[in-house]
Amino acid sequence: MTATTNTLTARVDTGPGLRGLVRRAGGEELWMKIAAPVSLVLAMVIFTILSPTFLTWDNLDGMLADSAIPVLLAVGMTFAVMLAGIDLSMASTLALASVVLGAVYDGGGLVLSVLAAIAVGAAVGAVNGFFVGRVKIPDMIVTLGTMGLVQGIGLIWSKGVPKPVSDHVLTTIASDSVGIFRYNFLIVAGIVLLLHVLLAHTPVGTHLLAVGDNADGSKAMGLRVSRVKLVGYIVCGTMAGVGAVFLVLYVGASQPATNTDYVMKAVAATVLGGTSLFGGRATVWGPALGALLLTVLQTGLTMVGVDAFYEPAVVGVVVLAAATLMRGRK
Amino acid sequence: MPIGLPQPGLGEILIDGQPVRFASPLEARRSGIETVYQDLALADQLTVWQNVFLNRELTWGPKGIGILRRAEMRRRSQDLVQRLAVNVPSATRTVKRLSGGQRQAIAIARAVMWSRQFVIMDEPTAALGLRETAQVEDLIRRIVDEGTSVLIISHNFEQVMRLAQQVWVMRAGEVVNGERVSDISGVELVAQVTGAAGMPPSTEALTAGPADREAN
């Protein structure tokens, strides 16, 4: 016993600093943790060198505004991925919620239409969570199904026609600033902070991670697994609903057509942010930075003259590479 | 059975003389019966303290959605592992960084911390090597000395003889014998069990445990 204690202490007794961190966390885990912030800084430096207009406030401000929807979807997606799940329906949920926003806005007004859009997102999330958690159908199949269903409802309802929504409050949020930051960035930052508190500082967050890590063990400890999963998918769907509000204020109209890019980008940002695809390990700020990184890459590549057609391929490679790095864990 | 899975077909369970019926492991936990499952039921990527307080988190504000008292849970988990001399360096480590013996020790420590009646351990050393088995047995003796009743389910007769004070032998789902360990030899124990193949004996340390009858 004594001998073991000694070797264990010896192995563990590493102070702070990079080497200690590497030894304590293991190289791969550390890498997953710092991938997003380090790549973000690297990308900023490289693009600043390559393009003189990259590091201007105009451009930074624009990128922050552009990243609003990717960030919202990425942090939402994280709540499905941390459960070892995925939500393929996020983009079509966003489309449907924007249709609902457009429909309710006439007659209902801004507040009601925004609440309706968010409620639609939460409702789709609840359907996903119900089928994944209670009916126990694989997440891919469930969200593939709701993806089609929700997309269909949006198209039928809107007849595929975008509906203009011009509201001075939305315009203000999109373009006005408090201090140096635009309202939309501040709202997104507030939501990210809120979800961070939920994940890291409430029992709900711990339960989500525990269920994602070890569903049987969590059940043995008395957690209601299906209910925990329901919560995760509702958070995910709600973020799609909030994303719809930002899409409408961004383009000034509802968007019945699904932008499938959103889902891939959200998953990419999630894994870039250090979320384990096998569940149980996640932060909120990681995927938020991951989404910011993807936006910076997109803007930067465009500014240095790389064709925008390369972007999906880059994102796809990122997903595959990250998944490969995680292979063999668990 | 005493943890609520599966439901007993016959017989009854008495705690402090009162008959109880558990519909789920959660109800058994509420009555103060803790279980260390054979697979430990630990979330590997969570920290030691998160596992110790899993589903029993201390919070400020409303239960369930309040803000976690992380510092307090860390401190209490650290106290727990130090009190039980579990050789886990820090309660802030993730469980997957621990050795098999340490993980077992965490699962046991968690059960000890929350139990008010007794702790059931299902094959506590089945997955461990010799040295780690010795460490875990040490820990079990220590918590018994501290006053916790332990019911061990084990097919390791030598371990039963080493750890237990009272043994119940089960064969084909029925208790075929109950004796003080001091009154029985290992050879007799094996003979009783092998009446039918592969039936594990139940043993309980300390007589202070609740009246616990299992039938079929």
pLDDT of residue A7: 37
Nearest to B164, CA basis, from B207, B127, B129:
B207
Nearest to A214, CA basis, from B52, B43, B93:
B43
Chain A residues in contact with B37 by the CB 8 A cut-off are 217, 220
d(CA A268, CA A37): 14
- Decide if A12 and B87 are in contact by the 8 Å CB cutoff: no
Kindly indicate the confidence band of residue B83, based on its pLDDT and cuts at 50, 70 and 90.
confident
From first to last of the 330 residues of chain A, give the pLDDT tens digit.
333 333 333 344 444 455 555 455 555 667 777 888 998 999 999 999 999 899 999 999 999 999 999 999 999 999 999 999 999 999 999 999 999 999 999 989 999 999 999 999 999 999 999 999 999 999 999 999 999 999 999 999 999 999 999 899 998 998 888 888 999 999 999 999 999 999 999 999 999 999 999 999 999 998 999 999 999 999 999 999 999 999 999 899 999 998 888 999 999 999 889 898 889 999 999 999 999 999 999 999 999 888 888 888 888 887 788 778 766 554
Q: What is the torsional sign of CA B186, B187, B188, B193?
A: positive
Greatest Cα pair distance, chain A, in angstroms, is 76
**CA-CA-CA-CA dihedral for B52, B55, B61, B63, to nearest 10:** -150
Nearest to A135, CA basis, from A215, A226, A209, A205:
A226
Residue A171: count other Cβ atoms within 10 Å of its Cβ. Answer: 12
CA angle A324, A328, A329 (to 5 degrees): 105
Contact, A267 vs A86, CB < 8 A? yes
* pLDDT tens readout for residues A248-278: 998 999 999 988 889 999 999 998 898 988 8
B174 — phi, psi (to 5°)? -125, 145
CB proximity list for A96: less than 8 A, separation 6 or greater:
A120, A124, A150, A151, A153, A154, A157, A244
Q: Tell me, what DSSP letter sits at residue B86?
A: -
For residue A29, give both structure tokens: 């885990």
Residue in chain B lying closest to A24 (CA): B97
Chain B residues in contact with A1 by the CB 8 A cut-off are 87, 131, 134-135, 138
- E strand intervals along B56-201: 59-60, 67-68, 118-122, 149-153, 166-171, 174-180
The CATH number of A57-326 is which of 1.10.3470, 1.10.10, 2.10.260, 3.30.460? 1.10.3470
If you average pLDDT over residues B117-140, what whole number do you get? 88
Name the residue among A5, A206, A209 with its Cβ closest to that of B87. Answer: A5
For residue A131, the one-letter residue type is F
B176 — phi, psi (to 5°)? -100, -15
Strands B67-68 and B118-122: unpaired
Asked if pLDDT for residue B155 goes beyond 90, the answer is: no
Contact, A214 vs A280, CB < 8 A? yes
* pLDDT tens readout for residues B23-56: 777 788 888 889 999 899 999 999 999 999 999 9
Chain A residues in contact with B41 by the CB 8 A cut-off are 214, 216-218, 220-221
Q: What is the 3-state secondary structure (H, E, C) of chain A?
A: CHHHHHHHHHHHCCCCCHHHHHHHHCHHHHHHHHHHHHHHHHHHHHHHHHCCCCCCHHHHHHHHHHCHHHHHHHHHHHHHHCCCCCCCCHHHHHHHHHHHHHHHHHHHHHHHHHHHHHHHHHHHHHHHHHHHHHCCCCHHHHHHHHHHHHHHHHHHHHCCCCCECCCHHHHHHHHCEECCEEHHHHHHHHHHHHHHHHHHHCHHHHHHHHHHHCHHHHHHCCCCHHHHHHHHHHHHHHHHHHHHHHHHHHHCECCCCCCCHHHHHHHHHHHHCCCCCCCCCCCCHHHHHHHHHHHHHHHHHHHCCCCCCHHHHHHHHHHHHHHHHHCCCC
Query: Bridge partners of B68?
Result: B59
d(CA A29, CA A131): 32
- Decide if A214 and B35 are in contact by the 8 Å CB cutoff: no
Domain boundaries in chain A?
57-326
Best of A202, A209, A223, A277 to disrupt the B interface (most B CBs within 10 Å) is A202
Name the residue among B45, B68, B87 with its Cβ closest to that of A202. Answer: B68
* pLDDT tens readout for residues B159-209: 888 888 898 888 877 788 888 888 888 778 888 877 743 444 444 433 333
**Type and span of the H or E element at B15:** strand B13-15
Q: What is the ipTM of this complex?
A: 0.85
Name the residue among B65, B89, B99 with its Cβ closest to that of A9. Answer: B89
Query: Bridge partners of A181?
Result: A178
CB proximity list for A80: less than 8 A, separation 6 or greater:
A86, A87, A128, A139, A143, A232, A233, A236
pLDDT of residue A28: 61
Residue in chain A lying closest to B65 (CA): A202
Q: Which residue carries 């973000």 as its tokens? A: A40
pLDDT of residue B209: 34
